[in-house]
Structures are given as structure tokens and as C-alpha cells.
């Protein structure tokens, strides 16, 4: 008999319910949810500040000696990676700005004329600090369309 009474109660309940949006928003933003959202925002802001505050780039972390500045670079200054397995190719010359037909942002002027220039790019070392200096570079040769020799520089030394 209890099942029959229960069945009648279920039949009296409407199949479609009307959701009151004001009540559902109150239920969604409980104090726990608001606290969690605030914690996530604070952690995001703090971590972003810390990451941006490091002002670090690969070249800053990869310095081996000397602090090269744009105003003066001392003889013997070495900057870049110590990974000579990756950066096994070397070249020596005077560093100048400009590439050739969009390849390289800098080039090394070497004895023998323009055909001996080495065109350079680097994502590790800021080569602009070494303009007009006699340098030795270690790098990795890249495929080129116009440059006779295109190198990605990983290490540089002022001679």
C-alpha cells in the first residue's frame, strides 16, 4: 500500500520545473566559490609579477664572464652558451650590422672580400653590443638561400 501512495505523490509532481535565476545565482556564488576565485586571481597576479620581474632572457642566464654593455665591451668578454656540441662551428672577424636579402641581422667581415662574410643571427646573444668589434663566434650553420654562410650564434668572444 505504501508503494501506491508513493506512486500518487510522484504523479502529482510536475515534469518540468521552473528555475528561479536569482536563487540559482545565489547558490552558484557561495562564500567558498568566491574565496577560491579570489585566491586564483591573487596567485595569477603574483606569479605574473614574479615572472616579469626577473627581466631574464636566455642571454642573461648564459653569460660566462663579463657584463657586456652597449657602451663598451672589454677585450676578452665572453657571452653566451658553453654548449660547444651544439655550437661547434666557429668564425672570426669584425662584426657589422646588416644581413643579405633578409638572411641574418649581422655579418662578420673577414679577409678576402664580401664572398667571405659570415651572416649571423642569434636568439641567445645580443650581437648589437659587439658592433665594430673583432670577435670570434661559435654557432650552428643554417641553410641559406642567399648568404654564403649563415650562422646562428650561441657564443661570442671579443678578441
111-134 residue pLDDT tens:
888 778 888 888 888 888 888 888
Q: Within this chain, do residues 74 and 144 fall inside the same structural domain, yes or no?
A: yes
CATH number, domain of 88, equals 2.40.50
Give the residue numbers spanning the domain of 18. Answer: 2-53
Q: What is the pLDDT of residues 92-107, one digit of tens each?
A: 888 888 888 878 888 8
Given a cut of 60, whether residue 3 has pLDDT beyond it is no
Q: Within this chain, do residues 82 and 126 fall inside the same structural domain, yes or no?
A: yes
Q: Within this chain, do residues 88 and 146 fall inside the same structural domain, yes or no?
A: yes
Give DSSP secondary structure letters for 1-69: -HHHHHHHHHHHS-SSPPP-HHHHHHHHS-HHHHHHHHHHHHHHHHHHHHHHHT---HHHHT--BS---
Q: What is the pLDDT of residues 26-83, one digit of tens each?
A: 677 788 888 999 999 999 999 888 887 765 444 444 444 444 444 567 787 888 888 8
Q: Within this chain, do residues 12 and 40 fall inside the same structural domain, yes or no?
A: yes
Domain count, the chain: 2
Report the alpha-carbon distance of residue 13 to residue 16 in Å, rounded: 9
Which pLDDT does position 35 carry in this prediction? 93
Which pLDDT does position 38 carry in this prediction? 95
Q: Within this chain, do residues 100 and 142 fall inside the same structural domain, yes or no?
A: yes
Amino acid at each position: 500500500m505504501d508503494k501506491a501512495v508513493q506512486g500518487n505523490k510522484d504523479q502529482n509532481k510536475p515534469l518540468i520545473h521552473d528555475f528561479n535565476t536569482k536563487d540559482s545565482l545565489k547558490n552558484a556564488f557561495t562564500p567558498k566559490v568566491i574565496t577560491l576565485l579570489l585566491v586564483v586571481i591573487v596567485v595569477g597576479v603574483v606569479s605574473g609579477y614574479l615572472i616579469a620581474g626577473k627581466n631574464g632572457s636566455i642571454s642573461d642566464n648564459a653569460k660566462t664572464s663579463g657584463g657586456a654593455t652597449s657602451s663598451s665591451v672589454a677585450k676578452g668578454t665572453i657571452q653566451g652558451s658553453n654548449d660547444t656540441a651544439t655550437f661547434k662551428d666557429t668564425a672570426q672577424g669584425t662584426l657589422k650590422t646588416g644581413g643579405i636579402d633578409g638572411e641574418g641581422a649581422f655579418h662578420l667581415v673577414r679577409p678576402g672580400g664580401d664572398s667571405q662574410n659570415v651572416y649571423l643571427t642569434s636568439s641567445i646573444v645580443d650581437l648589437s653590443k659587439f658592433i665594430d668589434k673583432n670577435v670570434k663566434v661559435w654557432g650552428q650553420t643554417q641553410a641559406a638561400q642567399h648568404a654564403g654562410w649563415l650562422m646562428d650564434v650561441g657564443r661570442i668572444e671579443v678578441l
